[in-house]
Amino acid sequence: MIIKSKQDEIQNYLKDASNYSGNCDAVYFPESESDIIEILIDTNKNKKQVTVSGNRTGLTGSGIPNGGIVISTEKLNNIKEINFNKKFVQLQPGVLLSDLQNKLKENNLFYPPDPTETSCFIGGTIASNASGASTFKYGPTRDYILELTIILADGDKLKIKRGENFAKGSTLNLATENKKEIKIELPDINIPDIKNAAGYYCKKNMDAIDLFIGSEGTLGIISDIKLKVLELPKGKISCVVFFNVEVDGLQFIKKSREVSIKNKNSKIELLINALALEFFDEEALKFLKSEFPNIPINSKCAVWFEQETNGNDEETLLSEWIEIIKNSNGNEEQCWFALNEKEEQKIKDFRHCISEKINEYMASKGFRKLGTDVAVPDDKFLELYNYAKIITKKEKIKYANYGHFGNSHMHFNFMPENEKQYLKSKKLYDLICHKAISLDGTVSAEHGIGKTKKHLFLEMYGKEAVDKMFSIKKTLDPNLILGRGNLF
Ligand SMILES: Cc1cc2nc3c(=O)[nH]c(=O)nc-3n(C[C@H](O)[C@H](O)[C@H](O)COP(=O)(O)OP(=O)(O)OC[C@H]3O[C@@H](n4cnc5c(N)ncnc54)[C@H](O)[C@@H]3O)c2cc1C
């Protein structure tokens, strides 16, 4: 196994996409599960901190160490089996999402969770319970995890299959491969019933596997994975609609969401049923204009929607969508319709570009990313949206607001020009999170809490609930070596 400790060789492991930076003594590159076990037995004995690193596309510093060692999963990148008939794939945690997507496509399959950044590792997406545009129709990563092998802090192995081990009320019993019995008391926490990736998943009678999904590298290291996959749809409509009035774009999202939710459970074909509903405000469009000069002038916002098709229903579906576009005063003539895969990819690049460009802008100024990950119940979203805009405009700080508005989930990104504005933006960021909490929302719908949002996590659930989550951590990792600084 390779171990690197020269500072110039390990620099890449000390910063993530949010520009959060840390330090460590060495980076280990296990090539097998037994390598991970060997490292953990040693670090646990010596009470040495261990941070698991995926591909560091995370936006909360959760994969970045503050001391101790890093375990990089990059050499564990084997897709072991793709089973078309049973619709599953077995793989190691260091497989790139883009590699998985390409391999599945060759097999006429796809994996729905699609965090916009495809250079993440599957292990990292599970540890963050990542989501993406298609989460509107298909739900988050959690819904696609069939089995996990987890190496616990002491090197013992836990294999969990979905549907096999449920908590009895608030008591969850786990049995390791070395026949150790672990009893976990699940706190009774009011988890918001919306898209949410804040803290441990704790519910009465829950499936044991759900505790580990979204646990941000704090409960164990995922070493083997079985995912549910789906058959590729025959076709897809992908379109960006521009609006001259902001409220029209927001109404378009609302109408499309309502009709899609209504039709989702219907078996009738030829109905509007959005795969994704993504929003870009005027500031985001202005910021993208240099890369995408064909953004129509006077656009006050845009919505990217996608819908899967069966190959024969495109015309009918398109005319239904055009009806909604017209009824919402969208610029029908100026829509970007993707007519083939290449154009579809161009639209995806447009969506990816806004996140990436903002991360680059912040890094160029030497600031850490300040983009919200808040979501609230649908009927409270407009209140949150307007609040964020009003308080930021008042301070004259540059921003761009975009994101997964189908799920009432927004990435309000501050783009301060100097240190003074950065400090002010941090305050405004917190105010938006306070507002989301007061509207029964979450401070993290998909990126997790990591090291940067702990104060908001505490505010969201309260000290008692967070302390109870911490006791779960202590039961599974008594020496507190894993993912130190994340969540708690
Ligand atoms: C431009 C851009 C756009 C993005 N858009 C989205 C989006 O739309 N939706 C979204 O959800 N995210 C988005 N992200 C965030 C990011 O891609 C995800 O958080 C990703 O899931 C993290 O994967 P990673 O491999 O980079 O993990 P890392 O960042 O390296 O680590 C993330 C966490 O996973 C833990 N971890 C990694 N591997 C393991 C393992 N094997 N076992 C246990 N714990 C492990 C780490 O310790 C850490 O806590 C975006 C990021 C960028 C840069």
The torsion angles phi and psi of 249, rounded to 5 degrees, stand at: -65, -40
Give the position of tokens 């150790």. 180
**pLDDT tens per residue across span 294-303:** 999 999 999 9
Confidence band for 313, pLDDT divided at 50, 70 and 90 = confident
Q: For ligand 1, is residue 140 a contact (CB within 6 Å)?
A: no
- Residue 146 sits in the same domain as residue 240: no
Structure confidence by residue, pLDDT tens digits, 273-293: 999 999 999 999 999 999 999
**Number of domains, the chain:** 3
Strands 26-29 and 69-72: parallel
Q: What is the pLDDT of residues 213-270, one digit of tens each?
A: 999 999 999 999 999 999 999 999 999 999 999 999 999 999 999 999 988 877 666 6
Please determine, for residue 6, whether its predicted confidence score (pLDDT) is greater than 70.
yes
DSSP-assigned letters across all residues of 202-235:
--TT-BTHHHHTT-TTSS-EEEEEEEE-EEPPSE
User: Looking at the structure, do residues 379 and 399 belong to the same domain, yes or no?
Assistant: yes
Give me the residue label for tokens 């029209």: 248
Nearest CA among 57, 59, 56, 54 for reference residue 71: 54
Q: Give the domain-ending residue among 18, 38, 72.
A: 72
- Specify the ligand 1 atom closest to the Cα of 197: 11
- pLDDT at position 341, please? 87
177 and 321 housed in the same domain: no
Mutation pick for ligand 1 pocket among 57, 100, 209, 358 (CB with most ligand atoms within 8 Å): 57
Whether the CB of 13 sits within 6 Å of ligand 1:
no
Residue 218 shares a structural domain with residue 255: no
Model confidence over 385-431: pLDDT tens digits?
Answer: 999 999 999 999 999 999 999 999 999 999 999 999 999 999 999 99
> For residues 113 and 125, what is the distance between their CA atoms, to the nearest angstrom?
9
One domain for residues 52 and 147: no
- Ligand 1 in reach of 113 Cβ (< 6 A): no
Q: How far apart are CA 398 and CA 408, in angstroms?
A: 22
* 16 alpha carbon – ligand 1 mean position (Å): 9
Mean pLDDT on 334-353: 92
Mean pLDDT of 86-112: 97
In a domain, 473, yes or no: no
**Is 486 part of any domain?**
no
In the prediction, which pLDDT does 311 show? 79
Q: Are residues 211 and 266 in the same domain?
A: no
User: Residue 55 is part of a domain; what is its CATH number?
Assistant: 3.30.43.10
Examine the domain organization and report whether 141 and 58 are in the same domain: no
Give yes or no for a contact between 53 and 72, defined as CB atoms under 8 angstroms apart. yes
Dist. CA 130 → ligand 1 center (Å): 7
Residue with the two structure tokens 């995922």: 222
251 and 156 within one domain: no
Residue whose CA lies nearest to ligand 1 atom number 36: 124
pLDDT category, 339, cuts 50, 70, 90?
Answer: confident
276 phi and psi, to 5 degrees?
-145, 145
Please indicate, yes or no, if residue 367 is contained in any of the structural domains.
Answer: yes
> Residue 151 is part of a domain; what is its CATH number?
3.30.465.10
State in Å: Cα 436 to ligand 1 middle: 23
- Same domain, yes or no, for 223 and 239? no
Q: Which residues of 339-354 are buried (b: 16+ CB within 10 A; e: fewer)?
A: eeeeebeebbebbebb
CATH number at residue 294: 3.30.70.2190
Residue at a domain's end among 45, 72, 99: 72
CA-to-CA dists, residue 290 to 92, 284, 304, 360, angstroms: 39, 11, 19, 15
- Within a domain: residue 463? no
173's CB contacts (< 8 A; 6+ apart) are 165, 181, 182, 183, 184
The response to whether residue 406 sits with its C-beta less than 6 Å from ligand 1 reads no
Q: Which residue has the tokens 């949010």?
A: 18
The pLDDT value given to residue 267: 67
What is the C-alpha radius of gyration for the chain, rounded to an integer number of angstroms? 22
Say yes or no: 51 and 161 in one domain.
no
Percent of the chain topping pLDDT 90: 94
On whether residue 449 sits in a domain, the answer given is no
Answer yes or no: is the C-beta of 63 below 6 A from any ligand 1 atom: yes
Average pLDDT for residues 333-353, to the nearest whole number?
A: 92
Q: What is the mean pLDDT of residues 60-86?
A: 98
Helix (H) or strand (E) holding 51: strand 50-53
Contacts of 152 (CB under 8 A, 6+ apart): 40, 158, 176, 219, 220, 476, 477
CA of 125 to the centre of ligand 1 (A): 5
Q: 128 alpha carbon to ligand 1 midpoint, in Å? A: 6
Q: Which residue in this structure is represented by tokens 């702990």?
A: 454
Locate the ligand 1 atom nearest the alpha carbon of residue 53 and give its number: 30
Give the single-character DSSP code of 423: H
What's the token pair of residue 286? 């202005």
Is residue 447 one of the residues assigned to a domain?
A: no
Range of the domain at 124: 79-231
Q: Is residue 459 part of a domain?
A: no
Q: Are residues 62 and 86 in the same domain?
A: no
476 in a domain, yes or no? no
Q: Binning pLDDT at 50, 70 and 90, where does residue 349 land?
A: very high
Tokens of 351: 């969506």
Rounded distance, CA 255 to CA 251, Å? Answer: 6
* Residues 85 and 227 both lie in one domain: yes
Checking DSSP bridges between strand 88-91 and strand 336-338, what pairing results, if any?
unpaired
Among 52, 145, 149, which residue has the most ligand 1 atoms within 8 Å of its CB, making it the best to mutate?
52
Of 396, 422, 438, the residue that ends a domain is 438
Q: Which amino acid is at 3?
A: I
